[in-house]
Amino acid sequence: MTKIGIITGSTRPGRNSLQVAQWVKAIADQRGDAAYEIVDLADYNLPLYAEPVSAAYGQDYQTKEAIPWSEKVAELDGYVFICPEYNRGVTSALKNAIDYLYYEWNNKAAGIVSYGTAGGVRAAESLRIIMAELQVATVRAHPSMSLFTDFVKGKEFKPAKVHEKAVNTMLDQVNAWTNALQPLRNQ
């Protein structure tokens, strides 16, 4: 069965990304079209990128934290990134985790669920550019939530009902692209 990782985009105390990831997973689990799992960046404790050679040049990782991260990302067929917007961009934790790897990301599909004061759309667009360099096909459907209307006091996630349909549309596209890219991953 296709394996889709729902990757949290923040590691800071008091973060909202885990709540959003749990909500996406609850919707995804009702579908039965893939095996979905939450991949919490906080569980990997990745230090600031410290590999002596860029991951684009090989997979001979030197930092002990890179190996379990590499194994997890490699075993997944596709992704849903939970992307909070910090200072009009992706979080440093998410960018750092992405930069640790290269080949593990290639020829896969990804959806983006963003949130922020303006729905996190600027961070999502930035993430699309990053994913393009890693040969990840990001899908068009993009659920975006506002810190003002989908969170109580910016902390408790209470999404509007309309977002559930957007998540399902995004998951339809992630699964279609993930399956279409399967022959490239098998080479």
Distances (CA, A) of 32 to 1, 26, 171: 10, 11, 11
pLDDT, residue 187, reads 84
pLDDT, residue 75, reads 97
Regions of the chain where pLDDT drops below 70: none
Distances (CA, A) of 92 to 29, 79, 136, 138, 154: 29, 18, 19, 20, 20
pLDDT, residue 60, reads 86
Residue 81 DSSP code: E
pLDDT, residue 76, reads 98
User: The tokens of 136 are what?
Assistant: 């990840």
pLDDT, residue 154, reads 87
Domains (range + CATH), the chain? 3-185 (3.40.50.360)
pLDDT, residue 70, reads 96
Residue 41 DSSP code: G
